[in-house]
Amino acid sequence: MPETTKEQLITAASTLLDSGGQEAVTLRAVAERVGVSHNAPYRHFRDRSALLAAVAERDFIYLRGAIDRHGEGSDAEVALRNASAQMIDYALKHQARYRLLFSDPDLSPGPGIKDAAKAAFQAFSRVVSRCQGEGVLPEIDTVRLTVLVYSTLHGAIDLELGGRSTESGLGSIEATADLLFHLLRRVELGE
């Protein structure tokens, strides 16, 4: 069954984000790609930012699924690496979309997006929690630990996407994430 016009607009915006970044996503270009007039999008979205919000919501739902799918079966440490790899893979293949979801301060914070983002965070949190159970990560508050792990992952990704990694002296997002996991496994909390 074919996509509705609204879905086509979201898909077109996603494609334009991938090929030309935020500035390439003009409502005129989106409309032309779908084959409607330059202001037809206003029948489906309040404005440009609402269209971008719809792209973000769809991708948050995808990411939650990707994390859940790759965080099962294998042991906890492998699941953590797989979940991280999913985020990194998405970020590298869809740079402007990753930044839209996790960095853009202008992203409209509607309830649909908040729920989808929260669900993705919780999926990541479940993997962190399993690692704590297997002694791979320290036994501290799971939410705070997830925020720490994801802050590091996001920081490494964002610096890389912004081209700040080579300038600063090192590359590879995975290397930074692996170093964090390596060190956290060796934390002795003391009693």
Partner DNA sequence: ACCTGAACACCGTTCAAGT
Query: Which residues between 9 and 48 bind DNA (CB under 7 A)?
Result: 25-29, 31, 36-40, 42-44, 47-48
CA 107/CA 51 separation, integer angstroms: 10
Q: Which of residues 3-22 bind its own copies (CB under 8 A)?
A: 21
CB 116 within 8 A of CB 60: yes
* CA dihedral angle for residue 85, residue 10, residue 53, residue 119, rounded to 10 degrees: -40
Considering the complex, what minimum distance in angstroms separates the CB of residue 73 from its own copies?
26
How far, in Å, CA of 135 to CA of 140, rounded?
11
Which x/- pattern, by CB under 8 A, does the window 107-136 give for its own copies?
Answer: x-x----x--xx--x---x-----------
Binding partner at 121 among its own copies, DNA, none, C-beta below 5 to 8 Å by kind: its own copies
Could you tell me how many residues make up the chain? 191
73, 57 contact by CB (below 8 A): no
Contact with its own copies (CB under 8 A) among 12, 94, 102, 123: 102
The terminus-to-terminus CA distance of the chain in angstroms comes to 60
Contacts with 104 (C-beta within 8 Å, 6 or more apart), sequence order: 22, 52
- Min CB(13)–DNA separation in Å: 10
Binding positions for its own copies, rule: CB under 8 A: 21, 95, 99, 102-107, 109, 114, 117-118, 121, 125, 138, 140, 143-148, 150-156, 158-159, 161-165, 167-170, 175-176, 179-180, 183-184, 186-190
Binding positions for DNA, rule: CB under 7 A: 5, 25-29, 31, 36-40, 42-44, 47-49
